Amino acid sequence: LMPVMQSPSYHGYDATDYRTIEEDYGTTADFHRLIAAAHERGMKVVVDLMLNHTSSEHPWFLSSAQDPGSSTRDWYVWRSDDPGETTSWGTPAWHELDGAYYLGLFWEGMPDLNFRNPEVTAEMEDVARFWFEDMDVDGFRLDAVRHLLEDGADFDGPPQTHAWLGAWDDVLDAEAGPQFFTVGEVWDETYEVAPYVTGGEVDVAFEFALADAILTAVERGDPAPLDRALTTALT
């Protein structure tokens, strides 16, 4: 399932409540009925989990933004100046609010969580527990996982992200069980994606380069792009 948590947007990738079903889709009781019906038929249910960021309307961010002394101020990445850094797709990474600047890679409405703060890690581990213990889901599609931590202006899969994600997967394996499934959204070249899987950070990852090559080969009537992508992926 794509995002089913409470969100102000049509796509749901900016949660305002990680533990509430989006009202447009129904209720917690509806979700439990869906899970039960799927499991009765031998089907597994994987839900999208947005770790990297919340909505700017999330109570955590509202508190963080309103008061520099807030208990959630350090749950997001703030600084006093704008370093002028941009994302790998060319958009501003930092956004001004009341004289300070916060990191929001995807846009100003999606402020990035600060996973250098152990409180944030603990909270998101508890969110995961809610979904596999209380909601009985079978796995997560982990959104935007290559952006979880930054190393200076490197926002795309630095060592800190790999270390955090590996520790996160260890918690899932220990508490949800090794059968609990994770698929990582790592939108990058194959050689950058592979370490997330071979390093035990996610069970599988999307292979966007291969998907693009399939389309390109069909559109051109030329198997060469697909052949190259398959060779790279298999290697």
Nearest to 5 by CA among 45, 42, 49, 66: 49
Annotated active-site positions, please? 143, 185
Sheet holding 139-142, edge to edge: 46-49, 139-142, 181-184, 204-205
Rounded CA gap, 59 and 81, in Å?
24
Per DSSP, the three-state class of 26 is coil
Q: Residue 178, Cβ neighbours under 10 Å: how many?
A: 9
Nearest to 105 by CA among 148, 161, 48, 151: 148
Q: Residue 69, Cβ neighbours under 10 Å: how many?
A: 6
- The number of angstroms, rounded, from the C-alpha of 173 to the middle of its chain's C-alpha atoms is 18
Strands (E), 46-191: 46-49, 78-79, 94-97, 100-103, 139-142, 181-184
* CA angle, 217 then 221 then 225, to 5°: 30
What number of residues does the chain have? 235
